[in-house]
Structure 1
Amino acid sequence: MKVLVVTHSNDKYCPPLVMEALQKQGAQAIRLDTDCFPTEVKINLSYRGAERRMFFKTADGDVELDELDAIYCRRFSPAGKLPDDMDIQYKRTVHRESYATLLGMLSCSDTFQLDPYDVVSRAENKPLQLKLAQQLGFTVPETLSGNDPEEVRAFFHRHPDGIVAKVLKAFSIQEEGREMVMYTNRLQESHLGELDRLALGPLTFQQLIPKALELRVTVVGERIFAASVDSQGSEKSQTDWRRDGLTLQTAWSPYQLPMDVERKILRLMDILQLNYGALDFILTPQGELVFLEINPAGEFVWMQTCTGFPIADALAEVLLGKAPRRETYRFGTPRA
């Protein structure tokens, strides 16, 4: 069996684990670093009458998509190696066209994908996640997304225990050679006078949820791997554990979820048509689980390393059809 792992050159930890797991189970694992397209990788998607052919060329040889048994859609980062001196307008154009070409080829493949880009793109919608989670019976934080300063001020005063600010779409910027990300931050009263800056970009605000533990729940097919960490011992990690992520990386331990919570999680995965997802919860001091979000392409290597969970093996089993999988609906094919 042949499995294509779609990622980029800087994705150094997850792909090797999954590829090793695939090889242990007798499959051939092929890596496609999307940042090398179009500068080093050549893609061909052709139609000639009723005949269609999809293949790409790398330094390691040609790969026919119709000969693949599964595709692991891990990361997309096309046009990542364009010349530094290339005009920014042309770079943007090449990036968009490369993205469309790569995803066009993948969307035309009838091979099982974990998970298709359009499915992941829809599942990444955070407001939709909260809506579905609430419908399934999860407790979710009171949330406000937008750019209206008056509404944010009213939201702040409605929650005397505090609120936090966060983004709906994770991003990073390069500053002096360092990658900078935006964490979840507590909004102070002194910030209220700066809210007119929302006219330059919206944010999302949520009520501050007291924490006894933070949970990370990784789902692969029908398997659930849950772990918890105490993030409240350090002031640095109290609002967002990632601020002290390196310290807490080895502090996670397996956590047993109630059966009804596991059923709701799997139902959410069914609705979103995801075979993989990393969910974040808060366990309050009163023992209530509060749903925060699901990342359809969340990291798992640190979790596997810390807890010993066989997440890469589980991914390989789903990719190879050795474990239950969710077959996603494809445009142009009848529903089962």
Structure 2
Amino acid sequence: MNNKILIITHTADNFSIEKVTDYIAKNGFEVIRFDVDLYPLQNRLSTTFQDGQWISTLETPDAKHRLDDITAVWYRRAYNMGNGLKEEIDAKFYGAAMGEIRTTLFGFLESIDTYALGKPSVYRRLDSKEEQLKIADKIGFKIPETCITNNPEEAKSFILKHQNVIGKMQSGFAIYEDGVESVVFTNVIEEEKLEDLDSLLYCPMQFQKKIEKKKELRVTVVGRDVYAFEIDSQKFDDAKVDWRKDGVNLIDKWMPTELPRDIEAKILELLDVYNVDYGAMDIIVSPEDEYYFIEINAAGEFFWLDNLTEENLISKSIADLLCDKAPRRNNVVLV
């Protein structure tokens, strides 16, 4: 029996990879780690069809691995692929080469004929915050009043109606200036800033009625296992609107929490609709104890919450899922 599990990540990923790898080893399985920032300069990926057989291989600086007979794949991150390539080839070829690199790697990941915890197509689908909100609303979650637009007049009308409105980007939005990255966080839209909304013509934005917060939840779901944590973000000035602004200082302030049974059922139903086995969900609990769905992240980070569990239980759940020792949502497509 083959017992190889492929993990797609990058060399600068955090220690959660090691935690999951340790649990996989305890289950008697082997991990093959594919660091995409070493592809293609150091990692060589090949797929061949001949003599009626498909064979895929990964050659790293340390070893050569068969990948066509793996039992599962964890697509965690694809950061910084093609690292160092710009310095190696003529500038006029760089854009085209990077296009081929992405197409080849993502094409390989989509074609793996086994259980996958995450795929590029799954990540792309979950990029749609609009679909997330529509599905959440349909299955009975409360969601904030929302407007997604590049029409300044629509935005102004929405803001004037609801008064207390926040604005946020739908993607991992960052601005780069002089090599410095500035992340765009969620912010309250002040009425005196309405005229600035004319720039929406060039870049759409998502607006939502601000939900007053009793507490914020981060819920990590692995298969059927639900790990819920809460934080009182309102105790910290920098975190009141967007806890990520003060994320480092809050890292040890999160506490495990219990979810109402109906909320947990809706969370699992949401993952059923998407047919995915991992999701990191943001929920706001209002002073009236109403639970508002905000978003789900297909590959949301979990390591700081994992440290708050006994024996890194989130990592254990991921390993058990990959080793087929926990219930899965069947997502094998090549049948």
TM-score (norm 1): 0.94
Q: Structure 1: state its 5+ residue gaps.
A: none
Partner of 1:42: 44
1:129-167, Cα deviation, whole Å (9 max, x unpaired): 10000001000011111200000000110112x111111
Specify whether residues 133 and 118 from structure 1 end up closer, same or farther in structure 2 by C-alpha distance, changes over 3 A only.
Answer: same
| Counterpart pick for 1:170 among 169, 172, 186 | 172
| Counterpart pick for 1:112 among 111, 115, 122 | 115
% identity of equivalent residues: 37
247-256 or 82-91, larger mean C-alpha shift: 82-91
Partner of 2:323: 320
| Counterpart pick for 2:305 among 285, 303, 327 | 303
Report the alpha carbon displacement of residue 172 of structure 1 after superposing the two structures with TM: 3.6
Q: 8 Å contact 1:145–1:204 — kept in the other structure?
A: yes
Specify whether residues 313 and 71 from structure 1 end up closer, same or farther in structure 2 by C-alpha distance, changes over 3 A only.
Answer: same
Write out aligned runs for 1:209-248 (5 A): 209-248=211-250
> 3-state SS of the aligned residue for 2:68?
helix
Residues of 2 paired with 1:219 and 1:210: CA distance? 25
Q: 8 Å contact 2:54–2:68 — kept in the other structure?
A: no
Residues of 1 paired with 2:85 and 2:173: CA distance? 21
Report the alpha carbon displacement of residue 119 of structure 1 after superposing the two structures with TM: 2.1
Q: 8 Å contact 1:318–1:324 — kept in the other structure?
A: yes
> 3-state SS of the aligned residue for 2:233?
coil
Specify whether residues 177 and 21 from structure 1 end up closer, same or farther in structure 2 by C-alpha distance, changes over 3 A only.
Answer: farther
Residues of 1 paired with 2:285 and 2:37: CA distance? 39
Q: 8 Å contact 2:123–2:298 — kept in the other structure?
A: yes
> 3-state SS of the aligned residue for 1:67?
coil
Residues of 1 paired with 2:250 and 2:35: CA distance? 30
Partner of 1:129: 132
1:165-206, Cα deviation, whole Å (9 max, x unpaired): 111111345555554211111111122111111122111111
Residues of 2 paired with 1:128 and 1:195: CA distance? 24
Report the alpha carbon displacement of residue 67 of structure 1 after superposing the two structures with TM: 2.5
Report the alpha carbon displacement of residue 123 of structure 1 after superposing the two structures with TM: 2.4
Residues of 1 paired with 2:15 and 2:173: CA distance? 20
The one-letter code of the counterpart of 2:282 is D
Q: 8 Å contact 2:122–2:298 — kept in the other structure?
A: no
| Counterpart pick for 2:195 among 193, 196, 202 | 193
The one-letter code of the counterpart of 1:66 is D
Write out aligned runs for 1:241-256 (5 A): 241-256=243-258
Partner of 1:79: 82
Specify whether residues 120 and 196 from structure 1 end up closer, same or farther in structure 2 by C-alpha distance, changes over 3 A only.
Answer: same
TM-score (norm 2): 0.94
Q: Structure 2: state its 5+ residue gaps.
A: none
1:313-332, Cα deviation, whole Å (9 max, x unpaired): 000000000000111151x5
Report the alpha carbon displacement of residue 53 of structure 1 after superposing the two structures with TM: 1.3
97-106 or 175-184, larger mean C-alpha shift: 175-184
Residues of 1 paired with 2:90 and 2:235: CA distance? 48
Report the alpha carbon displacement of residue 85 of structure 1 after superposing the two structures with TM: 7.5
Question: Does residue 98 of structure 1 match 2:101?
Answer: yes
The one-letter code of the counterpart of 2:154 is E
Question: Does residue 140 of structure 1 match 2:136?
Answer: no
The one-letter code of the counterpart of 2:114 is T
Partner of 2:157: 154
Report the alpha carbon displacement of residue 285 of structure 1 after superposing the two structures with TM: 0.4
Partner of 1:67: 69
How many positions carry a matched residue from both structures? 331
Specify whether residues 89 and 300 from structure 1 end up closer, same or farther in structure 2 by C-alpha distance, changes over 3 A only.
Answer: farther
Specify whether residues 311 and 117 from structure 1 end up closer, same or farther in structure 2 by C-alpha distance, changes over 3 A only.
Answer: same
Q: 8 Å contact 2:165–2:209 — kept in the other structure?
A: yes
Specify whether residues 119 and 329 from structure 1 end up closer, same or farther in structure 2 by C-alpha distance, changes over 3 A only.
Answer: farther
Report the alpha carbon displacement of residue 83 of structure 1 after superposing the two structures with TM: 3.1
The one-letter code of the counterpart of 1:300 is F
> 3-state SS of the aligned residue for 1:246?
helix
144-153 or 42-51, larger mean C-alpha shift: 42-51
The one-letter code of the counterpart of 1:100 is T
Specify whether residues 45 and 179 from structure 1 end up closer, same or farther in structure 2 by C-alpha distance, changes over 3 A only.
Answer: same
321-330 or 119-128, larger mean C-alpha shift: 119-128
Residues of 1 paired with 2:49 and 2:98: CA distance? 23
